Structure 1
């Protein structure tokens, strides 16, 4: 078995979310005397800033814990909770680039007969037809995708050769 390389969470989204949450808080408290005039806007802004800051601290904690995206001889870790999709359950793995947002991701497509099995194993309410690993979250996304595709070519069942 090869050494498992973990692709950690990038500092970029952590710092962007943290900065954004702090800026929203700063703007909210810029005019303290105006808060009673617009309490609804203040409360919504406060909730939004805490959600954004909370997500940045969540990503930071996961990075400190050494969590990330990886794969081994059994399967691919698809989220920061450590949930896996096993190699024999995967039908295809593709690169996806959104034309609208220009976001890039690696998408793992399990075979439709495995959706329920994956849902139960990962304790989800609804089955997921595809698992997306967003590139903005990963420190070395291009390297991760290339290594994953090379590994997928080795692990892919014989009957599933690409076009």
Structure 2
């Protein structure tokens, strides 16, 4: 009974915030990649596209991610498959909690010798990233997103790790 009193009624939620019905999502986000283990902090851009298996905006989805990170004399590019599971905790509200994992390839281009043992060159890494995003669907066409938690690990000749904090938006189709 208490939970029923706390849950918003369907008519109390504006129609622009209702759950989405479209299976595809494209996201663009920006923020910071913050040093945890031997990783330089950088400005980061991220793009993802994924398709939900059951033909609606919630549930399991598989797609592709690309990330670009910038800092003077250092550039990182990442690409790979991306799996997410969009959980809709409130039936009548288009709010999603989205744990995710991405596995892929990264290239790190260094030109100032202050990273990766002082060597200038391009380096190749296996990349794994995992975390949680929140999404708020807007008008069944777009959404805003906040990624408060993501660990981004790079393994190759060296190992480094960073924490990503991103905000963004996207479209559903």
Shorter-chain TM-score range = under 0.3
TM-score normalised to the size of structure 2? 0.22
**Greater share of residues in strand:** 2
Larger Rg: 1
Q: Which has the higher helix share?
A: 1
